[in-house]
Amino acid sequence: MFQYFLTLCTTARYFILQPSEKCGPLNVTKITEHGKRVRKNWMSSWTVLKGSTLLFAKGQGGGTSWFGGGQSKPEFTVDLRGGSVDWAPKEKSSKKHVLELKIRQGMELLLWSEDDGVVNEWFKALQDSISAHAWESDEAIEEDMPESPSAEKHDKEKEQRQSKKDKAMKPSASVEPTDNKKTRHKLKKFLTRRPTLQAVRDRGYIKDQVFGCSLSSLCQQENTTVPTFVKTCIDHVENNGLNIDGLYRVSGNLAVIQKLRFAINHDEKVNLSDTKWEDIHVTTGALKMFFRELPEPLFTYALFNDFVSAIKIQDHKQRVQAIKELVRQLPRPNHDTMQGLFKHLRKVIDHSEENRMTTQGVAIVFGPTLLRPETETLNMAFNMVYQNQIVELILLEYENIFGR
């Protein structure tokens, strides 16, 4: 039996019933949009696959309609041509059986369902759709992607050889020259397939921005385990602002912080001692913004519940040991960045008589910034208490957890 979806005709104001290839409820979230990392925000969506187009509408749809909850249009749509689908790695999501869908326009999506059978069916359907429209993707990708030098040279050589053949041979009367040209053009596009946006990024032609980039990708790009921007901010604060009242608690000028963020993202040479950045609260605000905009927090999603369970342990020595073991399990960039940040925050606390930032005050500021669950729940207030307690314990037991 065919499933159907309704296409809204805005000009004639009536509905056309057409067959769809697959539809059903899925949980979806964007993790990258226009090549920029975005914070995960899972939503329940009525999802429809039609040809090379995937449509998402909020809520549960009907049996023959993609309209969720009475909506007249989808929440958003994506073009699968030139895309790819695979199982999402653990660093992208701690959930099991999550699909990672990469679209050539610089968008990456995660698709998930509690029913493993449903996810497997969607995986096969998306693979089939992408493969079936691979020929169409060549022309579509060409609009978005620059042609590689080798492909461009190959095109010119083929055109020159074809031009010589055309001069030597006259076209047959039974074959129209226009159709011949179109066939050659499509064949040439197929043979010199353009790379996807992800492939160009992987080769290093396109660099991820500093803000909103995953910690592992940024450290790999800079060939370090602690981001350069983090070290620069820490050095500047320790050299110029440890005695400033309300350090990290007082908010800096947001407009100036955004200007600094823009300059860092565009690889401009920034000297934090310059007059335009002289307010120390601009530097501390930018550093907090960097950690807030990480796609995955410094304390990873996978270990969030383990950290919360550890902080609930009654015996103090066992509690410290449990936290220490969890810190050791963090990826190297997360561990080293955490160690550098907490070492710096200990120095801030050492000057608490001047800056009035106690251990508890620093923990309140950085708790929600460094820890958060992957999915927001009704226990947000309880989570915030645990987040602050975890940060406070690590600050108090820094030498024991990280070693001297």
Number of folded domains that form the chain: 2
39 is a domain residue: yes
Alpha-carbon distance of 304 to 307, in angstroms, equals 5
Residue 66 belongs to a domain = yes
Residue 196 forms part of a structural domain: no
For residue 144, pLDDT over 70 is answered with: no
Give domain status of residue 21, yes or no: yes
Same domain, 242 and 331: yes
Q: For residue 286, give the H/E element and its range.
A: helix 280-292
Query: For 215-241, how does the pLDDT look when each residue is reduced to its tens digit (9 = 90+)?
Result: 999 999 899 999 999 999 999 999 999
Within 112-226, residue ranges assigned H as helices are: 116-132, 134-144, 149-168, 177-191, 197-202, 215-222
Q: What is the mean pLDDT of residues 198-221?
A: 76
Can you say whether the dihedral through the CA atoms of 389, 393, 396, 402 is positive or negative? Answer: negative
Q: Are residues 232 and 342 in the same domain?
A: yes
What's the rounded Cα separation, in Å, for the pair 353 and 227?
Answer: 30
Q: Which of 109, 136, 163 is the last residue of a domain?
A: 136
pLDDT confidence of residue 191: 64
Q: Give a yes or no: residue 181 inside a domain.
A: no
Tokens of 217: 């990708």
Question: Does 17 fall in a domain?
Answer: yes
For residue 295, the domain's CATH number is 1.10.555.10
In the listed set 89, 118, 136, which residue is the last one of a domain according to the structure?
A: 136
Same structural domain, 131 and 250? no
Write the DSSP assignment of 93-136 as a string of letters: -SSSSEEEEEETTTEEEEEE-S-HHHHHHHHHHHHHHHHHTHHH
Q: Which of 140-154, 181-195, 306-320, 349-363 has the lowest mean pLDDT?
A: 140-154
- For residues 37 and 172, the model is more confident at 37
Structure tokens at 139: 């022309």
Give 336-384 pLDDT, tens digit per residue. Answer: 999 999 999 999 999 999 999 999 999 999 999 999 888 876 566 667 8
For 209, the token pair is: 């921005």
Cβ atoms within 10 Å, residue 114: 10
For residues 237 and 352, membership in a common domain is answered with yes
| Domain match, 129 and 220 both | no
Distance CA 83, CA 109 (A): 11
Last-in-domain residue among 102, 136, 170: 136
Residue 185 within a domain: no
231 and 117 within one domain: no
Whether residue 122 is found in the same domain as residue 219: no
**Are 125 and 271 members of one domain?**
no
Residues 254 and 346 in one domain: yes
Contact status, residue 52 vs residue 37, Cβ threshold 8 Å: no
Bridge partner list, 14: 9
Inter-residue contact 7 to 16 (CB < 8 Å)? yes
Token pair of 4 as six digits: 């159907």
Instruction: Record the tokens describing residue 131, joined without a space.
Output: 């493969």
- Check whether residue 130 and residue 220 sit in a common domain: no
Point out the least confidently predicted range of 39-53, 127-141, 301-315. Answer: 127-141
* Shared-domain flag, residues 246 and 391: yes
Answer whether residue 260 is part of any domain.
yes
pTM over 0.75: no
Residue 65: domain span: 3-136
Specify the CATH number for the domain of residue 37: 2.30.29.30
